[in-house]
Amino acid sequence: MDPKSTFVKRFGDLIALLRVDPGNDAAQDLALAAAADVVETEPLEIEAGIEWGVVPDELTLKGRLLARQVELIRIAAGAEPQELLSLARALSHDLSPIASSAHIEVEMVQLLGPPPTPPSPPGSGPIPAPAVPVQPRRATERRTWEDRRRPGRASYQGIERRRTSDRRVTGERRIYLIQGQQAEIARLHETLVRSARALAWDAMLAAALALVRLVPRVPLGQRRSFGIQVRRAIPRRAIEALVDLAERDAALRERLAELLRWIGLDAAEIILERLSEGDAVGVRALYYDVLGGMPGVYPLVTPLLASRWSHEIRHGAVLLGRLGEPAAVAELAALMTHRDESVRVAAVRAIGEIHDGPAAEPLRQALHDPNARTRAAAAEAIAAWRGGALALLLAAALDGERDRDAWQALVTALGRIGTGESCAALATVALTRRSLLRRQGYSTGQRLAAVEALGLSASSAARQALERLAREAEGVVAYAADRVLEAERQRAG
């Protein structure tokens, strides 16, 4: 199809859509874009074809040119989509004037004037003009107000009337959506304030959470003021009541955590006060989840590390691990020499959760700590840090570890890592049998523990190591490896 035919077809579709389906913005945009692409680099000249014997369909470009008595349209190269849209709107209407623009020249049909009247003879009065029959107004084909899809919608005039591009610039395609959203926000805000005054915490939670979930729909330039207004409507006593509600009702904790996390530092101060009162058994996971999702709470957490109470230090260490700030590694490493064993364990585990910080050296030191429980915690942390990047440290520590629980933690950590290096180290343990001549091997229980650890990972390296043990190992070790493989095959279906 040549460019002129393409323009006639797409521009005609745009006029038809504006005339019979004015609310279909998506189709109008596609037709306008296609027509604008045609005239972007070359000019066009469209004639109405007055002398045609067959009158074209009225919903085509030629039909509308004839209906509006347009003889010729000249469109220069580089015509703006706005000019084409204005012309299409005028042609789709029955009465709107059709005007030329910078790149579009419109020539109307030249109507012939009435013939000159002969001069009247002297003494006679004026000759009356012939009576012109009044043509009834043609019935419009456009839908009436009652036939529209939303007959109750207001008609926006003046500065509220939609323009061509402002609906896209402002982020909303229709003004009535913005006004409806503003009405919904006002209603929810009133409910929030009224519920807070009446101490109706369930209703306040529902209204506040609905407002929080409306934030992404608020225009970007208004979100900050919107958030300030909502936070001001939730006083401190209401936040304390929400925290109390979370402690009592486990079913509401997920929704309350979302709201408390959005409220921010005001909620963080109250939660830190609750954590300072004790271990917060039962709701500790909720508090960690809320505070761990607030990056701005870091300055409020670090003072807990200097407390004289062990439970506050543990809370601070866990929260720093959840926040994942690289600067916290040095502060947590200083706790590894604390007199309380639980503090040291919490600090080591927290270091393992900070993947962007310089945690390798503190974890290596913790793996050689005199305390067995600290070494076990270091094994767990190494398994979590960067996907087991320090697995070789665990493999090297197996030979020298004498504590049973710490050795089991090392083997379990290697199995959870599931990389080629860790699985190879476990296979070596399972194949190295202790005997009277070789005292550096491993007992049967330790070799079976290595096989069990290989079953903790679903990686291909772990499966290959188990297959190797089923072939090369002897006795109960080969049997255990075969049973683990059989269990995996049954799980796979």
d(CA 205, CA 135): 66
Tell me what pLDDT residue 102 has.
87
Give the three-state DSSP class for 259.
helix
Tell me what pLDDT residue 469 has.
95
Q: Angle at CA 348, nearest 5°, toward 379 and 289?
A: 110
Phi/psi region, residue 46 (left: phi>0; alpha: psi -120 to 50; beta: rest), is beta
**Averaged in consecutive runs of 10 residues, what is the pLDDT profile of the chain (493 residues)?**
84 88 83 87 80 59 84 88 89 85 85 52 52 51 54 51 50 62 91 94 95 89 90 94 92 94 94 90 90 92 95 96 94 95 96 92 95 96 93 93 95 95 95 74 93 94 95 93 92 75
Distances in whole angstroms, Cα of residue 244 to Cα of each of 38, 152, 237:
66, 45, 10
Pairing of strands 44-47, 70-75: antiparallel
Q: Look-up: residue for tokens 């904790």? A: 253
Please indicate, yes or no, whether the overall pTM of this predicted structure exceeds 0.85.
no
d(CA 150, CA 180): 14
Give the three-state DSSP class for 347.
helix
Indicate the DSSP class of residue 181: H
Sign of the CA dihedral with 347 first, then 348, 354, and 358 last: positive
Sign of the CA dihedral with 265 first, then 267, 270, and 275 last: negative
| Single-letter residue type at 444 | T
Beta bridge partners of 74: 45, 105
Sign of the CA dihedral with 56 first, then 60, 63, and 65 last: negative
Q: Give the tens place of pLDDT for each residue, 175-194.
A: 667 777 888 999 999 999 99
Neighbours of 390 (CB within 10 A): 21
Q: What are phi and psi of 433, to 5 degrees?
A: -95, 135
Tell me what pLDDT residue 350 has.
97
Indicate the Cα dihedral angle 223, 207, 178, 261, nearest 10°.
30
Pairing of strands 104-108, 44-47: unpaired
Distances in whole angstroms, Cα of residue 187 to Cα of each of 18, 191, 395:
36, 6, 62
| Single-letter residue type at 410 | L
Tell me what pLDDT residue 221 has.
84
Q: What is the largest CA-CA distance in the chain?
A: 152
Tell me what pLDDT residue 441 has.
86
